[in-house]
Structure 1
Amino acid sequence: MSNPYHASRRRPVDLSNCDQEPIHIPGSIQNHGALLCFTPEGRLATRSANAAALLGELPEVGQPLAAEHLNAAARAVIQSALQDRQGYVDSRMITLDSGAFDLVTHKSEGVLIAEFEQRPSDALSLEAFALAAHQAIQRIQRQPGVEDLLTLAVDEIARITGFDRVMAYRFLHDDSGEVIAEHKREDLEPFLGQRYPASDIPAQARRLYVINPIRLIADVSAPTVALEPDHNPLTGRALDLSHSMLRSVSPVHVEYLGNMGVGASMSLSIVIGERLWGLIACHHMSPHLVPHAVRMSCQLLSQFVSALVERNLNGERARALEYSADLRRQIVAQVTDREDIVLALAADHEGFLRLMNAHGGAITLDRKTQVFGKAPTREGVNALINWLNENEPGDYFSTSALGADVPALKGALGDICGVLAVRFYREQDGYAFWFRTEQVEDVRWGGNPEKKYSIGPLGPRLTPRGSFAVWKETVRGKSLPWEKTETEIASQLRLDFQEVALSNENMIKRARETLLATLGHDLRDPLQAIMMAARMIEVREHSPSSSNLSKRISSSSSRMHRLISQVLDISRLQSGMGLDIQRRPVDVCKMVTEIVSEARMAYPDNEIILEAEDCGEIEVDGDRISQVVSNLLSNTRHHGEIGKPSTLIVFRRDDMLTISVSNHGPAIPGAVREHMFKPYKKESMGNQRNARGLGLGLYIVSEIISGHGGKIVVHCDNHIITFTVTLPIV
């Protein structure tokens, strides 16, 4: 019986579709044994084409075994397996007229599969090989690490089986493979350190390696033997040979082995947590039938190796966490109670890089950035921060393929492929970064560059060197990934840095409060006394020199008084205390008239045009609104066009008070206007007409207006700059 599924798998297999090849239903077996398949009632359902030649007379398909078929011992094994509800794999040694066989049975989708593998006449018993495996286990379990135990394991398996080459593969994060241990015949090319892409072992092959942990190909070049008929009568589908020891081999894999000159192979799975962690692969340069008893001993050995690998990996993880905890403590101690976290970490950054196995790093806080190792430039790091602030709301980011994941940053970050970032201080852009370069930088072809491979119909891709080339292209532009353990450590260090930054902030806050107390108490009172003395000199002394001296004292002390007031105001704002708005009825027209009169008297060369309506008394904080008007007029004096008047307009419309201050001058650039009302603007520094300005005035003005529930905006039109304040009337 045929079916569409069965027919579809007969299509030619090549590199374009081998990842879809149904290798568990090949419809054939290897020729060093025979296969019989029975229904639950014991009727023959399928047999391999060589079964009669190897086993003697057999019933027709659909008929049960009779006394003339096989022998009593073989029939008893098959009958016992039919009655076994579990259907586990079982094996027995039997002898027929045609020779000795290992009879291995298992159930597959309701039917019983019985495989008869020819047994070499000189094969030892299972007990003898079990003893050899036990002795090997005793030696292997004394090894201190994963690579050490795998190195000894391949030596022991080579000794037990006689294979020319035995290799241990480890599968990496992306399912690519690496040869980490090798035992070989002296004249063979070494493959230790070789890398293979994940595509060399497709997903369906990995599945079979997990559920059937041992696989023998006794003769790579031998013809396969068809199953007759090739279907399961219970399911109507092709016979599933997932657990079969005789299952035939994918033609793609056969060609790969043939190109390498391999005549026989065997693989043993290293399975950890139901995941294929690695393989022990055995090669022989000629056909090599490893007896079933030897294979069972090797399977026992590989299962023990799997357990040892898992134990070692868990131990390595525990030690890594312990080491990282100690290293974290050193890093935290390095930056604790230091005035500048960024400089403190950059001064000794080796531990910071070792913590994440990184090639480079960076630390940034409040736009102060230090980079070290193989890292981007400061400009590149700042570009990364801007991207993170715009695109990543969380406090953690990682990638091992920056060019593919964030192509906009590739130019700014250069050769960097891996980025791990943690944000520990959101308000001041506090970030810690680790960087990794492309992983192929340090990996080179480990084989013999002069080695010539025979090439089959599917081309040079099916060679170790072809696999290495594909692996290199697969990981191009990628770094080694950030392991789960590393991301956990980064998250812990983020909390450590956060605590240090907050501790430093509290220390700075206490110092600031002390300074403010000094400014507010120890300096303000003497300044008041100096200002009063200046006025008395001006009143009592009438000489020109005394008058100039008093004016200079008065001007300097007034400037100091204003700066102290601004520092006190901004301190209150940044500490969250606010400006403490005290509303009371104020005659706004009278207030601004007095401010303009004082300004005209103090700066007679600066013309001020006042247009103030009678607005009546309005509930505002008179001192604070006076501060607003004085500050805006001061800006016209410092930034307006010399010789041109400034204008102050005040009027009331319904429930809104408007104060407008304008002056002549060039338009303010848009980039400057965006942060005009922020403190410590760099545009405020270096102004020759306001050399001692701190860039605080407009920030305090905007906060006073905000405290009154109002708004302040700036317009530039025809070389006229206008600041307009609107206050709702309570």
Structure 2
Amino acid sequence: MKPEDQEAFEQLLANCADEPIRFPGAIQPHGVLLMLSEPDFLIRQVSANAQELIGQPAQGLLGQPLDVLFGQEQAASLLEAFRSDAERDNVPLDIVVNQQRFDALIHRHQGALIVELEQHLADFRPEGVSGEANLGRMLQRLQSAKSLQALYEISVREIQAMTGYDRVLIYRFEVGGHGQVIAEASAPSMELYKGLFFPASDIPEQARELYRTNWLRIIPNADYTPVPLVPELRPDTQAPLDLSFSTLRSVSPIHRQYMKNMGVLSSMSISLMKGEQLWGLISCGNRQPLHVPHEMRMACQTIGQILSLQISAMEAIELAGQRDAKLEGLQALATVMAQSSENVFEGLSLAPQCLMNLTGANGVAIIEDNKLYRHGQCPEPEQIRELHKWIMETGQPVFSHHNLSGVFEPAKAYRDVASGVLAIHLPKPVENGVLWFRPEVKQTINWSGDPQKPLDLEQSETGLRLRPRTSFEIWKVEMDGISTQWSHGDLFAANDLRRSALETDLARQVRKERQAVQARDELVAVVSHDLRNPMTVISMLCGMMQNSFSSDGSHSSKRISSAIDTMQQAASRMNSLLEDLLDTSRIDAGRYTIHPKPMDVTQIFEDACSLLTPLASAKAIDISFHAEPNLKINADPERLFQVLSNLIGNAIKFTPQRGSVGISAMSVGDEIVFSVRDTGEGIAPEQLPHVFDRYWTTKEGNPNGTGLGLYISQGIVQAHGGKLQAESQPGKGSEFRFTVPKID
């Protein structure tokens, strides 16, 4: 092909892909189309063959009401159908116009009412067999099918017997868009297509979309001249009329020529759906023109719908069987993953044959960081690492392909062992994953004609134009770099193994974290116990030494006495810190326990007052305690006193000279609310959310606090079933409130 012809060919291909098949502006000649406006129900467009079929000129019908054409009684029937919200698959109305019977089909689309008058065909009985009897027999035969292939074969034979088409076949769409004929019933003189593949370009994407939204399409005679609409555009929108759901819609001239090249002049296609997806087609063809009546077409459509449901149901049963066959292997692998002391991949490496059997692979590779395990037929280690990195970049947690070299160029070097790959990986910070490999399987695919040349060019009066392929002879293509495809069961097994690995990995992490917490708790307990005894000894020795040195003695004696005081304070602080660490450890582990008993709030306040008032007096702070009378709580006395002393001690510490601290308790519903309010410097807003965090202090490097007091206080309050909260205004003071359940 000349360069300029090649450029023209590519441009024509692009134009073909964009061909407005929904807006052809014309219909097939075996009926008449009317477009009406609402709510006046006046005729706004009409096909140009109105004079020929219904005896009325197209121009004369424009702007007219329906009764001008149909008479009042028939017009009333049509209007009633319109008002009942007409659907495109409705039962046709029997209409007589110009002494001829028509099947009137109506539907709404994009604000237009469309009426199609199709010539009525009576006594359509191929070979003398009634359609009704065949439909009943067909449904019984479909229900008796024991396998999918039997279901396909029954369908094509019965539809051929019902309709009389020379050829009826089932065409299934494959992943790449091309299709394969998987069942066929043909007259003896017809060329057989069963088993052949057809290029995706034979049924372009926009045509497939129309098949998806329309159950049926019929072309009684491909050798026709399209009938234009009058006027060409919709008067209300000045746009072409959308005929997506029209039975009479004219089809692409390229498709009509394609039919002629196949040796058929009549066709009917019935969509086969799987959910919302187009699964395939029942394609009917006839050497001579054949107009199947609407009633028979609806019977065929019903068959297509039932067949779609049965295909989906039987495929679901088949897939369930594939899944069940994997369960034993998955359970065995789940066990080895759980028993591994290291990680799930180390466990899988101990059962490579089971791992390969799971997906029917010839080789498997397992990656965990810098470790790589290989078993069976696999690429070289560096090739596996390169492939794994590329798979990770795709972002797919489960990846599969049966033509790896077609999407990953380096795989051509090892396609003899890895033309197919199935891989999984886990979301971990190190490289990890399992890769199954299948070798190349040489295979020959039989195409109907050259798949690389579905269209050609031809010279016409207006220049070059596309011509559909004329050859449908078997074209054998040797396929390289292809493995057997990964089945649904294989993909299910890979996904389920990944899920099981994630669960096992997470469970192992939880166990390790629990063991770490337990080890920390044991360490804290041991350190606390081992330190408490020497600290007690130090305190006792300091007391004994203090009696030997007087602070009123010589200068040397004073220095020693002061040092002993410092040692005693340090020992006391160490003991306090050890208690705090033990409490923190218990709170973190969720094992903090209290020993509640009935208490009088007034008694708690008296104890706190006697202990803490001297601290407040030393700073001339006015401290007050107020509790409503007869307040009773169920609390741990030591722990609750620990909370109060911590909160009051903090209030005194951070309240300046001559400030005030107020402590109160009042009954609110089923709770007692304790409040400690001060007039100190307050807490900055950005710091307030963190006051109950571990190791939080109001000032960096605060030598007088561990930052555990409020954290422990919160834990104690929560153990009592209450809440501890803080409010503060910088420069005005803070208030800490906590609740404890009340008892009557």
| TM-score interval, smaller chain | 0.5 to 0.7
2:189 paired residue among 187, 196, 199: 187
Q: Could you list the per-position Cα deviations for residues 106-156 of structure 1 after superposition, in whole angstroms to 9, with x for gaps in the alignment?
A: 12222222112122343369x963453233112102212333212211111
Residue 379 of structure 2 is aligned to residue 376 of structure 1: yes
Contact 1:93-1:102 at 8 Å conserved across structures: yes
Per the alignment, residue 129 of structure 1 pairs with 131
Residue identity in the other structure for 1:172: E
Per the alignment, residue 493 of structure 2 pairs with 489
Per the alignment, residue 78 of structure 1 pairs with 78
Q: Secondary structure in 1 aligned to 2:437? A: strand
Matches within 5 A, 1:232-251: 232-251=234-253
Residue identity in the other structure for 2:80: S
Per the alignment, residue 200 of structure 1 pairs with 202
CA gap of 1:402–1:13, structure 2 versus 1, over 3 A, is closer
Task: Report the Cα offset of residue 50 of structure 1.
Answer: 1.1
Residue identity in the other structure for 1:442: Q
Residue 47 of structure 2 is aligned to residue 48 of structure 1: yes
**Which structure exhibits the higher relative contact order, with contacts defined as CA atoms closer than 8 Å and separated by 6 or more residues?**
1
Task: Report the Cα offset of residue 185 of structure 1.
Answer: 1.4
Question: Superposition RMSD on alpha carbons, in Å?
Answer: 4.4
Q: Could you list the per-position Cα deviations for residues 83-128 of structure 1 after superposition, in whole angstroms to 9, with x for gaps in the alignment?
A: 3334544312334444332221112222222112122343369x96
Distance 2:166 2:57 in 1: 39
1:307 paired residue among 294, 306, 309: 309
Per the alignment, residue 612 of structure 1 pairs with none
Residue identity in the other structure for 1:492: D
Contact 2:216-2:301 at 8 Å conserved across structures: yes
Residue identity in the other structure for 1:384: L
Q: Could you list the per-position Cα deviations for residues 619-649 of structure 1 after superposition, in whole angstroms to 9, with x for gaps in the alignment?
A: xxxxxxxxxxxxxxxxxxxxxxxxxxxxxxx
Q: Secondary structure in 1 aligned to 2:165? A: coil
CA gap of 1:122–1:71, structure 2 versus 1, over 3 A, is farther
Per the alignment, residue 113 of structure 2 pairs with 112
Contact 2:416-2:481 at 8 Å conserved across structures: no
CA gap of 1:414–1:384, structure 2 versus 1, over 3 A, is farther
Task: Report the Cα offset of residue 302 of structure 1.
Answer: 0.8
Per the alignment, residue 283 of structure 2 pairs with 281
Matches within 5 A, 1:226-237: 226-237=228-239
CA gap of 1:383–1:141, structure 2 versus 1, over 3 A, is same
Task: Report the Cα offset of residue 234 of structure 1.
Answer: 2.8
Distance 2:494 2:193 in 1: 36
Distance 1:119 1:456 in 2: 40
Distance 2:467 2:267 in 1: 20
Matches within 5 A, 1:210-221: 210-221=212-223
Distance 1:152 1:43 in 2: 47
Residue 258 of structure 2 is aligned to residue 259 of structure 1: no
Task: Report the Cα offset of residue 223 of structure 1.
Answer: 1.5
Contact 1:23-1:250 at 8 Å conserved across structures: yes
Residue 469 of structure 2 is aligned to residue 462 of structure 1: yes
Per the alignment, residue 603 of structure 2 pairs with none
Deviates more, 1:299-308 or 1:137-146: 137-146
CA gap of 1:29–1:498, structure 2 versus 1, over 3 A, is closer
Task: Report the Cα offset of residue 166 of structure 1.
Answer: 0.8
Per the alignment, residue 100 of structure 1 pairs with 101
Contact 1:78-1:114 at 8 Å conserved across structures: no
Distance 1:178 1:305 in 2: 18
Distance 2:348 2:68 in 1: 88
CA gap of 1:286–1:234, structure 2 versus 1, over 3 A, is same
Residue 349 of structure 2 is aligned to residue 351 of structure 1: no
Task: Report the Cα offset of residue 309 of structure 1.
Answer: 1.5
Q: Could you list the per-position Cα deviations for residues 479-501 of structure 1 after superposition, in whole angstroms to 9, with x for gaps in the alignment?
A: 67767764442132246568999
Q: Could you list the per-position Cα deviations for residues 269-294 of structure 1 after superposition, in whole angstroms to 9, with x for gaps in the alignment?
A: 11232221111111111111111111
Distance 1:207 1:148 in 2: 28
Q: Secondary structure in 1 aligned to 2:309? A: helix
Deviates more, 1:32-41 or 1:83-92: 83-92
Structure 1 gap ranges (5+): 1-11, 506-730
Q: How many residue pairs are counted as aligned between the two chains?
A: 486
Per the alignment, residue 436 of structure 2 pairs with 434
Q: Secondary structure in 2 aligned to 1:433? A: strand
CA gap of 1:39–1:130, structure 2 versus 1, over 3 A, is farther
Distance 1:286 1:359 in 2: 53
CA gap of 1:320–1:342, structure 2 versus 1, over 3 A, is closer
Per the alignment, residue 30 of structure 1 pairs with 28
Residue identity in the other structure for 1:204: Q
Q: Secondary structure in 2 aligned to 1:290? A: coil
CA gap of 1:396–1:260, structure 2 versus 1, over 3 A, is closer
Contact 1:54-1:98 at 8 Å conserved across structures: no
Residue identity in the other structure for 2:105: V
Task: Report the Cα offset of residue 435 of structure 1.
Answer: 2.7
CA gap of 1:460–1:114, structure 2 versus 1, over 3 A, is closer
Q: Secondary structure in 2 aligned to 1:133? A: helix
Distance 2:456 2:423 in 1: 47
Residue identity in the other structure for 2:109: S
Task: Report the Cα offset of residue 376 of structure 1.
Answer: 2.9
Task: Report the Cα offset of residue 430 of structure 1.
Answer: 6.0
Q: Could you list the per-position Cα deviations for residues 208-252 of structure 1 after superposition, in whole angstroms to 9, with x for gaps in the alignment?
A: 112221100111112211111122233221111111111111112
Q: Could you list the per-position Cα deviations for residues 456-483 of structure 1 after superposition, in whole angstroms to 9, with x for gaps in the alignment?
A: 84678635759978xx79x986767767
CA gap of 1:411–1:437, structure 2 versus 1, over 3 A, is same
Distance 1:64 1:418 in 2: 66
Q: Could you list the per-position Cα deviations for residues 672-715 of structure 1 after superposition, in whole angstroms to 9, with x for gaps in the alignment?
A: xxxxxxxxxxxxxxxxxxxxxxxxxxxxxxxxxxxxxxxxxxxx
1:224 paired residue among 218, 223, 226: 226
Task: Report the Cα offset of residue 194 of structure 1.
Answer: 2.0
Contact 1:104-1:116 at 8 Å conserved across structures: yes
Contact 1:13-1:21 at 8 Å conserved across structures: no
Residue identity in the other structure for 1:295: R
Task: Report the Cα offset of residue 180 of structure 1.
Answer: 1.5
1:291 paired residue among 277, 290, 293: 293
CA gap of 1:494–1:39, structure 2 versus 1, over 3 A, is closer
Per the alignment, residue 680 of structure 1 pairs with none
Distance 2:430 2:331 in 1: 24
Contact 1:71-1:96 at 8 Å conserved across structures: no
Q: Secondary structure in 1 aligned to 2:436? A: strand
Instruction: Name the % identity.
Output: 30
Task: Report the Cα offset of residue 190 of structure 1.
Answer: 1.7
Distance 1:30 1:267 in 2: 16
